Homo-oligomer: A and B are copies of this chain.
């Protein structure tokens, strides 16, 4: 349930699961009617340090958001999927660069107007807080991963997170390159590759081409991942995405 991949975004529940109150005024409805922009794979949507002019609703495609150290080392803070809202956790400037991994379609909304509207709409305010809390939760999962997990645990955690967020029946799509994955997990491409090879050899996963992997033994994988988040945690916290401001 916790959007581990989306360090800086929030995925709303599928429309079918929204209750009446939420359906009547969802944050993402604000983007309805906004013109949609296209970005080709590799293009930047905005740059770290830019004036934070807009907030984005991702309709199609996947983005990576990252920061870079002066000497060029890159750390990817998260991958943004369709249904995520990108850019809510900024004040005046973007804290990272957002780049299209695949071709991407987004709707843009002026940040100023976005906050003004949310501020004026009582039903939307808790949703904004919920987004930010989800982002913090994902960021903390990632800090735990980066600070205390082994290479294999990181890779498996990543695969499971992708499966939760975007998986279709235990097969996951990985549109990003190995370098992207490595920079997200604090590893090198070689290490990521070796871990995937090892998991394959043990029959835990089955790569299908470069950008798809079938997860074979979810239970074993979850055990490897560390078990700190994921299904078990979800079971323990079923309502975590619901109302924040208890009206």
Q: Which residues of A contact B (CB under 8 A)?
A: 7-8, 49, 67, 69-71, 73-75, 77, 89-93, 95-96, 112, 115-116, 119, 122, 125-126, 128-130, 132-133, 135-137, 139-140, 142-144, 146-149, 183-186, 226-228, 236-237, 239-242, 244-247
Report whether A139 and B143 are in contact in the complex, using a CB–CB cutoff of 8 Å.
yes
Whole-angstrom CA separation of A135 from B77 in the bound complex: 14
Minimal beta-carbon separation of A77 from chain B (angstroms): 6
Minimal beta-carbon separation of A123 from chain B (angstroms): 11
Question: Across the interface, which residues of B come within 8 angstroms of A137, CB to CB?
Answer: 89, 95
Q: How many copies does the complex hold?
A: 2
Can you show 24 pairs from A to B with CB atoms below 8 A apart?
A7-B140, A67-B144, A69-B149, A70-B228, A75-B143, A89-B136, A89-B137, A90-B133, A92-B240, A93-B240, A115-B129, A115-B245, A115-B246, A116-B245, A116-B246, A119-B122, A119-B245, A129-B132, A132-B133, A136-B139, A139-B143, A143-B146, A147-B183, A147-B185
Question: Across the interface, which residues of B come within 8 angstroms of A125, CB to CB?
Answer: 119, 125
| Known contacts A75-B147, A119-B245, A244-B115: A140-B95 contact under CB 8 Å | yes
Minimal beta-carbon separation of A17 from chain B (angstroms): 17
| Known contacts A70-B227, A89-B132, A140-B67: A236-B49 contact under CB 8 Å | yes
Question: Across the interface, which residues of B come within 8 angstroms of A77, CB to CB?
Answer: 140, 143-144
Additional A-B contacts beyond A129-B132, A132-B136, A147-B183 (15; CB < 8 A): A7-B139, A67-B228, A69-B144, A75-B147, A91-B133, A92-B239, A115-B245, A119-B122, A119-B125, A119-B126, A119-B245, A125-B125, A143-B143, A147-B184, A148-B183
